[in-house]
């Protein structure tokens, strides 16, 4: 495989925090890399270094001659005032759009630029000039229509400013540039953000069957990583470690490595204790026989050096930042939620046709379907937050419900986490603080206002409050958003141990497969149920049982009537 990008001995610090020292990384032709690591380890910073947005403070990054690098950021930075058509016309090779961007580059040459900015502009200018030469005879309109049709941007939106699009639509336009102009190396930073399950599946298919360049992606979507990646690179303590295979294989390999390193560390600790015991014995002998004094001092020095060496090496851990999630609850009614003849409509729009449903104790129900089909409306109906247009919803008499809101709307933005913890359960201040510390908060965070917390901190706070509530019905709307992979996996383990009932919406298909034992799928206003997890439901759409009243599977076409001779 040919080397495309090589980062050698990279050092980089930000705000006094050293992210990398002596980092080594390479991307070769054919690579399908998933870059993983805890939040804050520098994954996005590494991508910015590879694209020359920022410069390393030590070491060097080199590139193969003439290669192009595509970079999809977490949040699109496309010009908000330009239309979809204008942005993509440049990628297609539309002559007018190319000439306009070349003029913009010439104007930037007259402004102060860093060496990296100058290099990036010269590279972009060369690409545009090559495309301008090749644009003769290209039917830009036909190409544009084909790509926009594929990413499902309606034609009425083509001439609207980028700033009027949703987050998911802006990301699709960003991706469309790479469909039109595939780079040699594609860097994707959280490409699944804002995407529903259907769009994520489309992206996975494009990456695995149609994109032929080298790929490196950052993603919290383990299902996508399993389908797309052929190697996992983990960033930890400013160093990179490569594991062959997909995410599932990475988990197995990392666990085996940590277990082996733990065995070796325990052996080293036992050897140290033997050394310490021998040093103490020799010191006792030296008190009675001075000729042993020199040897005793040497052994004590050796013992001190060995202790310092061991203390300088952290104990091997599968997860560095561990949060303690443990739900305690009392069993409630056997019938948790009972719905009869339930329908949902908004004005003339029918969201869900009338259906019956029963959720029993211990079931872990996942609700799936494309964006806009009524998943959240169904969840709100089942929990009594939204009154159905027809029919009835009954919640079991001894059911206590806790709601996780993906937008954190259940949290008072002016309150302190410690106040909310004491409202969720009768605790004194120290007990409430201990509960929050178990979820990764320190005393300062616990006393801060909710509105000053990050998205991840607010997510962990909601989980902490649900734990304290003692609820026997958990209603979860995108509970994995804003959590790093380690926290998501700890949440999954806690939910699998939970003795209550769960109703969840999530675009995290890996989460739905692990946690859910029943799926409700919504399509065209019809609700179908499937036993098992997400993968079974998607692989066996014909095996769903309609809950919608009066709905029948389409009958087979009747055989033609034979004419009598």
Evaluate whether residue 419 is within a structural domain.
Answer: no
pLDDT at 166: 75
Tell me which of 209 and 41 has the higher pLDDT: 209
pLDDT at 373: 83
Q: Are residues 512 and 489 in the same domain?
A: yes
pLDDT at 136: 53
Q: Are residues 88 and 154 in the same domain?
A: yes
Evaluate whether residue 507 is within a structural domain.
Answer: yes
Distance between CA atoms of residues 456 and 451, nearest Å: 12
pLDDT at 554: 43
Evaluate whether residue 25 is within a structural domain.
Answer: yes
Q: Are residues 94 and 161 in the same domain?
A: yes
Instruction: Write out pLDDT tens, residues 164-188.
Output: 877 778 888 888 888 888 889 999 9
Tell me which of 17 and 302 has the higher pLDDT: 302
**Per-residue pLDDT at 565 exceeds 50:** no
pLDDT at 91: 67
Alpha-carbon torsion (436, 440, 445, 449), positive or negative: negative
Nearest to 180 by CA among 131, 209, 147: 147
pLDDT band (50, 70, 90) for residue 215: very high
For the chain, the domain total comes to 4
Q: Are residues 387 and 488 in the same domain?
A: yes
Instruction: Write out pLDDT tens, residues 503-560.
Output: 999 888 999 999 999 999 998 889 999 988 889 998 898 888 898 876 544 433 334 4
pLDDT at 46: 93
Cα dist from 229 to 48, 216, 298, whole Å: 21, 9, 53
Evaluate whether residue 539 is within a structural domain.
Answer: yes
pLDDT at 99: 67
Q: Are residues 148 and 125 in the same domain?
A: yes
DSSP string, 360-417: ETT-EEEEE-STTSSHHHHHHHHTTSS--SEEEEEE-TT--EEEE-TT-TTS-TTS-H
Evaluate whether residue 516 is within a structural domain.
Answer: yes
pLDDT at 289: 83
Q: Are residues 97 and 224 in the same domain?
A: no
pTM of the model: 0.73
Average the pLDDT over 390-418 and give the result: 87
Distance between CA atoms of residues 544 and 37, nearest Å: 38
Q: Among 170, 200, 230, where does a domain finish?
A: 170
**Per-residue pLDDT at 437 exceeds 60:** yes
Q: Are residues 106 and 132 in the same domain?
A: yes
pLDDT at 140: 57
Average the pLDDT over 475-497 and give the result: 86
pLDDT at 555: 37
Q: Are residues 345 and 368 in the same domain?
A: yes
Q: Tell me what the pLDDT averaged over the chain comes to.
A: 84
- The percentage of residues in the chain with a pLDDT greater than 90, rounded to a whole number, is 28
Q: Among 213, 245, 277, where does a domain finish?
A: 245
Evaluate whether residue 498 is within a structural domain.
Answer: yes
**Per-residue pLDDT at 8 exceeds 90:** yes
Tell me which of 54 and 146 has the higher pLDDT: 54
Evaluate whether residue 49 is within a structural domain.
Answer: yes
Distance between CA atoms of residues 499 and 495, nearest Å: 8
Evaluate whether residue 557 is within a structural domain.
Answer: no
Domain boundaries, position 94: 81-170
Q: Are residues 109 and 41 in the same domain?
A: no
pLDDT band (50, 70, 90) for residue 369: confident
Average the pLDDT over 150-163 and give the result: 79
pLDDT at 131: 63
Q: Are residues 140 and 260 in the same domain?
A: no
pLDDT at 551: 55
Tell me which of 409 and 219 has the higher pLDDT: 219
Q: Are residues 124 and 261 in the same domain?
A: no
Q: Supply the CATH number for residue 379's domain.
A: 3.40.50.300
Instruction: Write out pLDDT tens, residues 62-117.
Output: 999 888 899 998 877 788 888 888 888 766 654 555 666 778 888 888 888 887 77
Q: Among 170, 197, 231, where does a domain finish?
A: 170
Q: What per-residue string of b and e applies to 241-252 under the rule 16 or more CB within 10 Å gives b? A: eebeebbebbbe
Element (H, E) at 87: helix 84-92
Q: Are residues 234 and 277 in the same domain?
A: no
**Per-residue pLDDT at 148 exceeds 90:** no
Out of 189-203, 267-281, 297-311, least confident range: 189-203
Question: Three-state secondary structure along 218-239?
Answer: ECCCHHHHHHHCCEEEEEECCE
Both tokens of residue 372?
């806009």
Instruction: Write out pLDDT tens, residues 107-146.
Output: 888 888 887 778 778 877 877 777 666 555 455 567 677 7
């Amino acid at each position: 495989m040919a080397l495309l990008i090589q980062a050698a001995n990279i050092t980089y610090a930000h705000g006094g925090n050293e992210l990398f020292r002596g980092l080594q990384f390479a991307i070769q032709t054919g690579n399908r890399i998933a870059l993983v690591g805890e939040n804050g380890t520098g994954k996005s910073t590494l991508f910015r270094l590879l694209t020359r947005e920022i410069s390393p403070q030590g070491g060097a990054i080199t590139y193969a001659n003439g290669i192009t690098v595509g970079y999809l950021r977490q949040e699109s930075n496309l010009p908000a005032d330009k239309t979809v058509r204008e942005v993509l016309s440049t990628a297609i090779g539309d002559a007018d759009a190319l000439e306009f961007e070349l003029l913009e580059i010439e104007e930037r040459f007259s402004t102060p630029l860093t060496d990296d900015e100058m290099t990036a502009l010269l590279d972009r200018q060369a690409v545009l000039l090559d495309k301008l030469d090749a644009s003769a005879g290209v039917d830009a309109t036909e190409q544009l229509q084909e790509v926009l049709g594929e990413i499902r941007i309606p034609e009425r939106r083509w001439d609207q400013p980028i700033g009027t699009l949703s987050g998911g639509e802006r990301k699709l336009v960003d991706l469309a540039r790479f469909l039109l102009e595939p780079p040699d190396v594609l860097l994707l930073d959280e490409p699944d953000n804002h995407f529903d399950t259907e769009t994520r599946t489309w992206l996975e298919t494009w990456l695995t069957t149609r994109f032929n360049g080298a790929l490196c992606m950052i993603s919290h979507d383990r299902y996508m990583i399993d389908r797309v990646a052929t190697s996992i690179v983990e960033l930890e303590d400013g160093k990179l470690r490569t594991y062959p295979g997909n995410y599932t294989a990475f988990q197995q390999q990392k666990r085996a490595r940590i277990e082996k390193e733990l065995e070796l560390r325990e052996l080293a600790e036992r050897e140290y204790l033997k050394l310490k015991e021998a040093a103490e014995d020799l010191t006792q002998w030296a008190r009675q026989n001075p000729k042993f004094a020199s040897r005793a001092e040497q052994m004590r020095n050796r013992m001190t050096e060995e202790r310092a060496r061991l203390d300088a090496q952290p104990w091997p851990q599968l997860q560095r930042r561990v949060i303690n999630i443990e739900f305690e609850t009392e069993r409630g009614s056997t019938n948790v939620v009972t719905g009869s003849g339930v329908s949902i409509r908004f004005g003339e729009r029918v969201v869900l046709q009338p259906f019956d449903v029963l959720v029993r104790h211990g079931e872990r129900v996942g609700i799936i379907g494309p964006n806009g089909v009524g998943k959240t409306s169904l969840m709100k109906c089942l929990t009594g937050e939204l009154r159905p247009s027809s029919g009835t919803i009954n919640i079991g008499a001894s059911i206590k419900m806790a709601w996780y809101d993906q937008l954190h709307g259940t949290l008072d933005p002016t309150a302190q986490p410690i106040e909310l913890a004491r409202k969720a359960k009768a605790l004194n201040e120290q007990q409430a603080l201990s509960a929050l510390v178990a979820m990764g908060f320190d005393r300062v965070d616990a006393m801060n206002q909710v509105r000053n917390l990050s998205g991840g901190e607010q997510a962990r706070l909601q989980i902490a409050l649900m734990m304290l509530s003692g609820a026997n019905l958990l209603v979860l709307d995108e509970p994995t958003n804003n959590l790093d992979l380690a926290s998501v996996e700890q949440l999954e383990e806690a939910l699998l141990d939970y003795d209550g009932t769960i109703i969840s919406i999530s675009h995290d298909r890996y989460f739905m497969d692990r946690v859910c034992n029943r799926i409700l799928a919504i399509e065209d206003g019809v609700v179908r149920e499937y036993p098992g997890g997400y993968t079974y439901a998607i692989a066996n759409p014909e095996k769903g049982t309609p809950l919608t009243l009066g709905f029948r599977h389409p009958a087979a076409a009747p055989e033609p009537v034979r004419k009598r001779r």
